[in-house]
Structure 1
Amino acid sequence: MTDLTLNDGRSIPQLGLGTWKLPDPQAPLAVRKALDLGYRLIDTAAIYGNERGVGEGVQGSDAFVTTKLWNDRQGDPGAALDESLALLGLDAVDLYLIHWPSPAQDLYIDAWKALIALRDAGKTRSIGVSNFLPEHLDAIIAATGVTPVLNQIELHPRHQRRDLVAYHQAHDIVTQAWSPLGQGGALLREAEIVRIAEAHARSAAQVVLAWHLAHGFSVIPKAADNDHMSDNYAALDLTLSADEMAAIDALEAGERLGPDPLDM
């Protein structure tokens, strides 16, 4: 497992388990299975409603735990994080993210200032954001002088976010992909993906995840059962050729699947 270095000097495992839509009662077993397979990064969020189960699953482990501040709590991040920590059964999380900029509220700059204070108080070891665009990143950096360690964004071969990734690289921000395999399975049926998978005798999911990893992105595919977790984890030892990477790069279509950050 490769670790990526964060701009605060800490590190994060490159491949993790996403837990969106994982029911709270199922989360402990799923998380423990992931840790047994070798995963060390577990991603959750207050809005997922499974922090208690995730917390049960990571107890006694050295898992890197991420959770997120939901939009309706941008006015009181301290209380929101305390609630998340109580559910998780942890004294601190490894990474706390503002889940969406929610610009209509005009609170994300103040929320970012609060996250800095929470980091300084030891309740989260690192701080970052999710679904922020360059204009939102510019605003919080200008207001505080503190750059997020990571921006978790929708990113997959049909929505590659190249301008935003370039911004991240210029500002030493880790790019982390949510929905890295797309949604509904359409991406995994893409002819070029299938061709490359057959050439390596691997799954289409492994090919797409290997593409992410080769680009240096952190990636958090969601999975609930052991077979999918194992299949995703096996992407760590798949190396794609330059021609194969270029073929996947060429699938860019600007195909957003999730919400527009300006509308959340």
Structure 2
Amino acid sequence: MLDLPEIGLGTARNDDATTRRVVAEAIEVGYRLIDTAAKYENEVGVGQGIADAGLARDELFVTTKLRGADQGYEQARKALRASLDRLQLDHVDLYLIHWPLPRLGKFVDSYRAMVEMQAEGLTRHVGVSNFLPEHLQALADAGLPTPAVNQVEFHPRLQQADVVAENSRRGVVTEAWSPLGAGTGILEEPAIVSIADAHGVSPAQVVLRWDLQRGVVTIPKASSRERLVANLDVHGFELLPEQVAAIDALERGERTSGQDPAVHEEF
């Protein structure tokens, strides 16, 4: 499996100016994995933040994603170059298909183009996001290399056991977006609050620690320096087996935005 930093920075829903500040500050406090997407329309800010931080490029792992409007073989080839122009980078470390969009029927051709661009050095690794087991199988049936990563919505109320198991079986890293279940009240769950009190940490730190103990790479979003630092500070304690089980029991199959990859369309 690909060796990734365990915790990275998510940047969804931030504009360029906010993204620039947050990315530079995140790198300063120790983040080495930065996640963006063409759909977020903040790749310019990510690139500026990276430049402001002044860290050597080979010390950072930068991810961006192919948006639905750019799916297809030729479009995908153009889209990565456009993302690199906005990022002001000569390559990314990971390029993902943002959503499978199965009714569009172009994700296999898109992925084929991405594999070629990997060979050309435009991305070090290729992967997918929001793919269900049947979408991974379609890539395998087409004779394409196994994705390095499958980035999916993953939090205590949506644990996607079938997807995580299939990723593991194929040697694909599971990466969590919305790991704190934004807007769903997960951090007020009595079980999580109780565990946080027992360890003297915050509910968010408990959830992020649970991710790591489940073997899931996590990319929480934060805008303040205090939150950025706190989200990284999850290695000084360990959840007991019964505490992991208590969080596991919060599974509800609830998506934060109702975005089911089997039918979701996003361009």
How far has the Cα of 1:155 moved from its partner?
Answer: 0.6
The letter of the residue matching 1:119 is: Q
Give, in angstroms, the shift of residue 236 of structure 1: 3.1
Q: Does 1:38 align with 2:30?
A: yes
Which residue number corresponds to residue 214 of structure 1? Answer: 213
Report how far residue 185 of structure 1 moved: 5.2
Query: Matched residues in 2 for 1:33 and 1:144: separation?
Result: 42
Which residue in 1 is equivalent to 2:64? 67
Q: Which runs of 5+ in 2 are unaligned?
A: none
Partner of 2:149: 150
SS at match of 1:105: coil
The Cα shift of 1:138 comes to 0.2
Tell me if structure 2 keeps the 8 A contact 1:193–1:208: yes
Question: Does 2:227 match 1:228?
Answer: yes
- CA deviations over 1:194-229 (Å, ceiling 9, x no partner): 000001110000000000011110000011111111
Deviation of residue 238 (structure 1)? Answer: 2.7
* Partners of 2:142 and 2:133 in 1: CA distance: 14
- Is 1:47 the counterpart of 2:39? The answer is yes
Which range moved further: 191-200 or 20-29?
20-29
Q: What residue in structure 2 maps to residue 261 of structure 1? A: 261
| Distance (Å, rounded) in 1 between the aligned partners of 2:48 and 2:69 | 26
Aligned partner of 2:116 in structure 1 is 117
Which amino acid in structure 1 is aligned with residue 8 of structure 2?
G
Report how far residue 102 of structure 1 moved.
0.5
Q: Which runs of 4+ in 1 moved over 4 A?
A: none
Counterpart Cα distance in 2 of 1:84 and 1:144? 27
Q: What secondary structure is seen at the aligned counterpart in 2 of 1:237?
A: coil
Residues of 1 paired with 2:60 and 2:11: CA distance? 14
- 1:26: how far off? 1.6
After superposition, what is the alpha-carbon deviation per residue over 1:172-202, rounded to whole angstroms, capped at 9, x for unaligned?
0000000100021500000000000001110
Instruction: State the TM-score, normalizing by the size of structure 1.
Output: 0.95
Q: Cα RMSD between the aligned structures?
A: 1.0
- Give the TM-score normalised by the residue count of structure 2: 0.94
User: Separation in 1 of the partners of 2:151 and 2:210?
Assistant: 17
1:14 aligned partner, one-letter code: E
Distance across 2 between alignment mates of 1:185 and 1:42: 24
Which residue does 1:93 correspond to in 2?
Answer: 92
Residue deviations 1:82-127 (CA, integer Å, cap 9, x gap):
1100010000000000000001110000001001001011000000
| Structure 1 residues not aligned, in runs of 5+ | none
Distance 2:69 2:140 in 1: 22
Preserved contact between residue 206 and residue 238 of structure 1 (Cα < 8 Å): no
| Distance (Å, rounded) in 2 between the aligned partners of 1:184 and 1:111 | 32
1:175-186 → structure 2 map (5 Å cutoff): 175-184=174-183, 186=185
Q: Identify which range, 101-110 or 236-245, moves more after superposition.
A: 236-245
* CA drift at 1:248: 0.6
Letter in structure 2 aligned against 1:195: S
* CA–CA distance in structure 2, aligned partners of residues 213 and 149 of structure 1: 18
1:153-164 alignment runs, 5 A limit = 153-164=152-163
1:58 and 2:50 are equivalent in the alignment? yes
Using the TM superposition, give the Cα deviation of residue 237 of structure 1 relative to its aligned residue in structure 2, in angstroms.
2.7
- Aligned equivalents of 1:79 and 1:238: distance in 2? 45
Deviation, structure 1 residue 28: 1.6
Query: What's the offset of the Cα at 1:260?
Result: 0.9
Q: Following the alignment from structure 1 to structure 2, what is the Cα–Cα distance between the partners of residues 148 and 13?
A: 17
Match of 2:106 in 1: 107
What is the alpha-carbon distance in structure 1 between the residues aligned to residue 205 and residue 135 of structure 2?
33
Alpha-carbon distance between aligned partners in 2 of 1:168 and 1:109, rounded to the nearest angstrom: 18
